[in-house]
């Protein structure tokens, strides 16, 4: 596993998986979805909101985090050059 140097303090950066979205949004979606589903106001809408909430809460992305200054850097997934 390769590592990169921090551009600010030259410290070692490590790859960390963080949540892609604000988790509070996901929790709100799940609560709203559950309420809709339970109250039968909109079962389908509730299920959609629930699914969306679960997706938001579980979605993760990889970033580089500096161990020294806590700077975070988006990891660019370079998957070009697929020769099949
Ligand atoms: Zn740093």
Contact 67, 11 (CB under 8 A): yes
In terms of domains, do 26 and 51 share one? yes
pLDDT one-digit tens code per residue, 18-36: 999 988 989 999 999 999 9
CA 75–ligand 1 middle distance (angstroms) = 15
| Structural domain boundaries, residue 67 | 1-20+59-75
Is residue 82 in some structural domain? no
Is residue 84 in some structural domain? no
In terms of domains, do 50 and 65 share one? no
CA 19–ligand 1 middle distance (angstroms) = 21
Contact 35, 27 (CB under 8 A): no
Task: Identify the pLDDT of residue 70.
Answer: 92
| pLDDT band, very low/low/confident/very high, at 78 (cuts 50, 70, 90) | low
Confidence (pTM) = 0.62
Token output for 29: 């979606």
Task: Identify the pLDDT of residue 66.
Answer: 95
For position 68, which CATH number holds? 2.20.25
CA 3–ligand 1 middle distance (angstroms) = 13
Based on the structure, what is the number of domains in the chain?
2
Is residue 83 in some structural domain? no
- Average of per-residue pLDDT values in the chain: 87
Mean pLDDT of 10-25: 91
Cβ-based neighbour number of residue 39 at 10 Å: 10
């Amino acid at each position: 596993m390769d590592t990169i140097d921090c551009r600010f303090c030259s410290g070692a950066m490590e790859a960390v998986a963080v949540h892609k979205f604000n988790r509070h949004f996901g929790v709100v979606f799940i609560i709203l979805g559950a309420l809709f589903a339970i109250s039968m106001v909109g079962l389908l809408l509730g299920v959609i909101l629930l699914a969306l909430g679960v997706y938001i809460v579980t979605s993760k992305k990889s970033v580089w985090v500096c161990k020294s200054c806590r700077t975070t850097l988006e990891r660019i997934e370079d998957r070009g050059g697929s020769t099949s």
